[in-house]
């Protein structure tokens, strides 16, 4: 590993303390291993090991998603959801100075918990975390690609009918090889018609075509991961020129990308002038946090603290937050000199 671009321990402290805007993080990917073990025991979810150091072990995208699904299966009651939401947010605020987070949740991975109960549990955790740390949060219920288009459409109907105080849009995640984005056209149309914002994970494993589908057919105004853009110069230029925000995540590149640092997809999107920002994605599964990811892209890819501070402003520009609340978050970035 090379030294951080800005050099040394002071730079690490600056990266950790820098107020952060995070647009790409999954609630279920934030569950502390100890909490998961407790919930799995309480709900009879079979465990491969009871060692908190190894319970989230995976080697590739498929085994990663299997861990993610097992984790979600242990989150069953409204109070489980309240607890994991609270823990996720205080960990981000205290450990990484996250001041604003938009967080994905997969309602269809909690099939026995009605959507309104799920949302009520998250809302309680969000308010408790705000009270204790000041972190501001919005939610993005997410379509799980291994589940059916009909389940996705039903999910969106529940989201559209439900409370919208915290819910700002819908997303899509899960296995890129499971369901093509075009099969979720109905779900996305329902969401847009209900006035929800829309984004999608696309191009995480480097395909450009599905990014195009998410933009053109699903109407996405942001893209999550988006590395496949690098395969298509015209699409890349379009995303750059329209200022479409791409939420990158260091974590999944650690097992999906094997090349050198100077052609790392996050470095290349940054160099191409695309508006990007970093999200921790699934910090508990990475055994790290957003501040650790800032350190990794600084040390490994040479992004500077100033680059990352600018990315926080770009993320806030792209955030789905009303103007007044946005201004308050912006003041927190500026007060800290970030
Ligand atoms: N769900 C949680 N993390 C994910 C990732 N990195 N890719 C796709 N789906 C996910
Ligand atoms: Zn993600």
- Where along the chain do its domains lie? 8-329
Distance CA 164, CA 235 (A): 33
- Best of 171, 173, 178, 184 for a ligand 1 pocket test (most atoms within 8 Å of beta carbon): 173
Residues flanking ion ligand 2, Cβ below 5 Å: 281
> Which residues lie below 8 Å from residue 288, measured CB to CB, with a gap of 6+?
251, 280, 296
pLDDT at 334 (0 to 100): 95
Above 90 in pLDDT, residue 4? no
Q: What is the mean pLDDT of residues 79-86?
A: 98
Q: Which atom of ligand 1 is nearest to the CA of 145?
A: 9
Q: What percent of the chain has pLDDT over 70?
A: 98
pLDDT tens for 59-82 read 999 999 999 999 999 999 999 999
- Best of 24, 25, 27, 29 for a ligand 1 pocket test (most atoms within 8 Å of beta carbon): 29
DSSP secondary structure letter of residue 108:
G
Give yes or no for residue 26 CB within 6 A of ligand 1: yes
Looking at the DSSP bridge assignments, the partners of residue 276 are 246
Q: 55: helix, coil or strand?
A: coil
Q: Whose CA is nearest to atom 6 of ligand 1?
A: 252
Do 91 and 32 form a contact (C-beta atoms < 8 A)?
A: yes
Ligand nearest to the CA of 176: 1
Give yes or no for residue 68 CB within 6 A of ligand 1: yes
Above 70 in pLDDT, residue 338? no
Above 50 in pLDDT, residue 3? no
Distance CA 122, CA 272 (A): 37
Catalytic residues: 204
Give yes or no for residue 281 CB within 6 A of ligand 1: yes
Long-range contacts at 217-221 (CB < 8 A, ≥ 24 apart): 217/181, 217/182, 217/185, 217/188, 218/172, 218/181, 218/184, 218/185, 218/188, 219/188, 219/192, 220/188, 221/197
- pTM comes to 0.97
Above 60 in pLDDT, residue 265? yes
Q: Quote the crossing angle between the two packed helices 33-43 and 78-96, to the nearest 10°.
A: 170
Q: What is the mean pLDDT of residues 43-67?
A: 95
Rounded to a whole number of angstroms, the distance between the first and last alpha carbons of the chain is: 26
CATH numeric code, 8-329: 3.20.20.140
pLDDT at 111 (0 to 100): 97
pLDDT tens for 181-234 read 999 999 999 999 999 999 999 999 989 999 999 999 999 999 999 999 999 999
């Amino acid at each position: 590993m090379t030294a951080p671009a800005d050099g040394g321990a002071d730079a690490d402290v600056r990266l950790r303390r820098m107020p952060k805007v995070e647009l790409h993080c999954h609630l279920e990917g934030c569950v502390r291993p100890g909490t998961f073990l407790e919930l799995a025991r309480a709900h009879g979810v079979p465990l491969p090991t009871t060692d908190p150091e190894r319970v989230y072990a995976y080697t590739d995208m498929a085994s990663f998603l299997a861990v993610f699904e097992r984790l979600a299966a242990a989150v069953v009651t409204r109070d489980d959801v309240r607890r994991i939401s609270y823990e996720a947010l205080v960990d981000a605020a205290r450990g990484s100075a996250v001041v604003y987070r938009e967080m994905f949740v997969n309602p269809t991975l909690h099939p026995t918990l009605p959507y309104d109960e799920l949302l009520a549990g998250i809302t309680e955790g969000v308010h408790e975390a705000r009270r204790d740390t000041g972190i501001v949060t919005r939610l993005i219920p997410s379509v799980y690609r291994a589940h059916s288009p009909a389940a996705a459409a039903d999910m969106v109907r529940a989201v559209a009918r439900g409370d919208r105080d915290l819910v700002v849009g819908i997303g899509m995640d899960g296995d890129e090889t499971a369901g093509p984005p075009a099969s979720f056209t109905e779900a996305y149309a329902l969401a847009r018609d209900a006035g929800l914002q829309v984004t999608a994970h696309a191009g995480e494993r480097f395909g450009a075509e599905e990014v195009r589908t998410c933009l053109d057919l699903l109407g996405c105004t942001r893209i999550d991961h988006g590395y496949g853009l690098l395969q298509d110069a015209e699409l890349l230029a379009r995303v750059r020129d329209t200022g479409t925000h791409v939420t990158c995540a260091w974590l999944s590149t650690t097992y999906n990308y094997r090349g050198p640092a100077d052609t790392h997809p996050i470095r290349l999107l940054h160099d191409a002038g695309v508006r990007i920002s970093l999200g921790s994605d699934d910090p508990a599964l990475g055994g790290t946090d957003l501040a650790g990811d800032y350190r990794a892209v600084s040390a490994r890819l040479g992004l500077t603290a100033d680059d990352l501070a600018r990315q926080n402003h770009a993320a806030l520009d792209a955030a789905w937050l009303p103007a007044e609340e946005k201004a308050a978050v912006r003041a927190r970035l500026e007060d800290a000199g970030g």
